[in-house]
Structure 1
């Protein structure tokens, strides 16, 4: 998730994890760093670990499907450019 919007989303997730982690006896700095680098994936894992399993799994599945879709789109673009 590079670019302006991805960076903003990752920073917001990192801030949320840093604030919420101490409430669940987790290290706030660790989850903030993970949230900054891995964004929604870290948020999904954090939610699963803190007992909010349904929301965490929904986030992980949606993000996983989006990444798979982007990979297939990238591969299709390569094949289309090679055909030209």
Structure 2
């Protein structure tokens, strides 16, 4: 069950590695970046290969999820420090 979180990055990395040579891009670079940064890399790749609408949607959603994660972590830290009486 722990490996479920690895399925999406692997699928994105494989897609990028297979599709990159069709557009004259380095498949190793895009595959590794796709595995590490998943949807942000997929969005940038789609923008660079001419599929701009889908690419910008992925980039915007990735940035929003990063901002939401930082905000959630900040709220948890604020709650814990307030609950501890610090």
Superposed pair shares fold, TM > 0.5: yes
Q: How far, CA to CA, are the matches of 2:38 and 2:4 in structure 1?
A: 12
Q: How far, CA to CA, are the matches of 1:31 and 1:40 in structure 2?
A: 12
User: Which residue matches 1:52?
Assistant: 51
Q: How far, CA to CA, are the matches of 2:29 and 2:54 in structure 1?
A: 21
* SS across alignment from 2:25: coil
* SS across alignment from 2:67: helix
Q: How far, CA to CA, are the matches of 1:5 and 1:65 in structure 2?
A: 23
Please identify runs of 4+ aligned residues in structure 1 that moved more than 3 A: 3-6
Alpha-carbon RMSD across the aligned residues, in angstroms, is 1.2
Task: Work out the number of aligned pairs and report it.
Answer: 82
User: Which residue matches 1:68?
Assistant: 67
Q: How many angstroms does 1:21 deviate by? A: 0.6
Stretches of structure 2 that go unaligned for 5 or more consecutive residues are none
**TM-score, normalised relative to structure 2:** 0.89
Point out the structure with max Rg over C-alpha.
Answer: 2
* SS across alignment from 1:51: coil
Q: How many angstroms does 1:35 deviate by? A: 0.5
User: Which residue matches 1:43?
Assistant: 42
User: Which residue matches 2:27?
Assistant: 28
